[in-house]
Structure 1
Amino acid sequence: MTYTGEVVVGGPAHVRVLDALEIRKLAVGPMANDAYLLTCRRTGDRLLVDAAAEAGRLLELVRSGSPEGALVTVVTTHRHADHVGALAEVVSATGAAVAVGADDAAAVTSATGVRVDRALVHGDTLAVGDVRLEVVALRGHTAGSVALAYREPDRVDEPGANPGRVHLFTGDSLFPGGLGSTDHDAARFASLLDDVTERVFARFDDDTRVYPGHGADTTLGAERPHLPAWRARRW
C-alpha cells in the first residue's frame, strides 16, 4: 500500500490497493476537498466520490489507475457547493450516472443543472463492477448526507490485505477529531451524532478506515474514545 492518507493540494493522487478495489485520493479546489476514485480491479469500472472542483484534474484521475475502464457513477455525499463544483463538467465528459442522498437531490440539481439518476436512501447498495458499496445515511450536516461503506472479503490471500475490514467514505459527516458542522443547531447535531453512533460506531470495528471529505484519513478506533466528549461539547 503506497497510500498513507495524507494528500497535498495540487499534488498527485495517492493510491491504496485492496483485494478487489483500488482507491485513489486527490485533494482539489480552494477548500482542499478530497475526491476519491474507486476502481473495480477486475472490470475497471469506476465510481467517483464527490466531483468537487478542478474538473480537469478529476478527469485525469478517472483516466488513471489499472485496469483501464469507464466512470460509471459519481456519488455526491451532500449538497454543499464545495462538493459539486465540477459535477456538471465531469458528467458531461464521461456520461456517468449521478447518485445523491434523496433529501439533497433536488438541491444538487438546482445548483448544478445535473439530473440525479438515483436518489440514495439508507441501506441502498451501489455496484462498481464486482464491488458492492453500502449507503449509510448520516443526517445532520445536511438532511441528505450519505457515506459509502466497502467491506473487504472475509478471506483475502493478498499480502497486506485486511479480511473483513471496512472502508468508509464519510463526506463531511465524520472527520478526525469530530463530526461535520451542524451550524450550532441542536436538533441537527443530535441527529448526526445519533446516526454516527448507531450506524457507524455500533456496527463497524475499530480497524474501519475513515475517508473524510477534507484532510487526512482516520480509523474508528482512533475516534471512538472521543464520542462522549463530542456529545458534551455539542459539536
Structure 2
Amino acid sequence: MSQQYTGDVEVGGPPQRRELPGLTVTKLAVSEMANDVYLLTSTATGESLLVDAAADPAALLALIGDADVRTVVTTHGHWDHHRALADVVRATGAQTVAHPADAGDLPVPVTRPVEHGDTVEVGDQVLEVVHLRGHTPGSIALVWRGADGADTLVFTGDSLFPGGVGNTQGDSARFTSLIDDVEQRLFDVLPDDTWVHPGHGADTTLGAERPHLAEWRARGW
C-alpha cells in the first residue's frame, strides 16, 4: 500500500491512490452525500473499472482522464450512487454492471447483470461479486484478492461501513437479511486484514469491525 494512502478523502479535495501488486485503486469523494468513487486499474494491462459513478460528471471524467475505462459497476440502485452514470458511459463507452434486482433503478440499461458468485474482470485482475441483501434487494460488494495472498480488498457500497451495516430503514427483516449476509459472505470467509472500501466515508478493515458484530445485531441497525 502506498504510504500516503489513508482512505480519508473530502468532497472537493484531491483523490487518494493506493498501489498494490497488480492493481491501483484511486478514491475520490463527490456530491453533497460525500459518495466514494473508486477507479480500479490493472497495472499489467492499463484497463480500468469504475465503482459507482455517483455524481459530478466533470470530477469523475477528470479522475478518469485518459484511463481505459471499460466497465462501470453500480453497487446498488440508490440515486446518489449513479447520478453520473449516463455521462460516464456516454464518454467512455463502458459496459454497465449491476445486480438485476436493482437494475431498474439505474438511469441507463445494465449491459451485464451479475449474480452472487459471478466475477468481473479489470484487465488481468478478477473481482468476485458478493450479493448482500437488505440495504437494497440488489446490493453487491466486490472482492479483490491479490495474487500473493497478502492483500484482500472489498468494495461494499452501502452494505458495510465503519461502525455497522447499511441503513435498512428500521425494517427488522431487511436488517436481519443484511447482517446475516455480511457476516456469512464477508466476515466468515475473508481475513481480518481485508481492507473495506465503503460507499461513503472512511475505510476500515474487517478485523477492526469484527468485534462489534454481536453489538450490531443486538441493537438492530
Query: TM class by shorter-chain length?
Result: over 0.9
Distance in structure 2 (CA, Å) of the matches to 1:17 and 1:152: 12
The amino acid of 2:158's aligned partner reads: D
- DSSP-derived class of the 1:98 partner: strand
Ranges in structure 1 where 5+ consecutive residues have no aligned partner: 155-162
Give the SS at the match of 1:47.
strand
Partner of 1:102: 100
Query: Is structure 2 residue 206 aligned with structure 1 residue 224?
Result: no
Deviations 1:9-38 (A, max 9, x none): 101110000000000000001101000000
Equivalent pairs, count: 219
**Offset of 1:69 from its aligned partner?**
3.7
The TM-score normalised by the length of structure 1 is 0.92
3-state SS of paired residue (1:22): strand
Q: 2:24 is aligned with what amino acid?
A: E
Structure 2: gaps spanning 5 or more residues: none
- Partners in 2 of 1:164 and 1:201 — Cα distance? 17
AA partner of residue 204 (structure 1): L
Specify the alignment match of 2:188 in structure 1: 202
Deviation at 1:42, TM superposition (A): 1.1
Residue type of the partner of 1:25? K
Tell me how far 1:165 sits from its aligned partner: 2.3
- 1:180 Cα deviation (Å)? 0.4
**Structure 1 partner of 2:109:** 115
Aligned to 2:79: 81
Q: Deviations over 1:82-106 (max 9, x none)?
A: 0011001110111010001121012
2:104 alignment partner, SS class: helix
2:61 to 40, 51, 59: 59
Of 42, 46, 49, the match for 1:47: 49
State the Cα distance separating 1:164 from its structure 2 match: 3.4
Shift of 1:56: 0.8
Counterparts of 1:30 and 1:185 in 2: how far apart (Å)?
26
Amino acid at match of 1:60: A
**Is 2:118 the counterpart of 1:124?**
yes
Deviation at 1:119, TM superposition (A): 1.0
- Letter of the 1:140 partner, please give it: G
Structure 1 residue 133: Cα displacement: 0.4
Matched residue type, 1:170:
T
Q: Which residue of 2 aligns with 1:28?
A: 30
Kept in 2: contact 1:43–1:69 (CA 8 A)? no
Give the one of 127, 133, 154 matched to 1:133: 127
**1:171 and 2:157 correspond:** yes
Of 109, 132, 144, which aligns to 2:138? 144
Aligned-partner residue type, residue 191 of structure 1: S
SS at match of 1:121: coil
- TM-score of the aligned structures, taking structure 2 as reference length: 0.97
Paired residue secondary structure (2:39): strand
1:162-221 Cα distance to aligned partner (Å, 9 max, x none): x33210000000000000000011110010001001000000010000000000000000
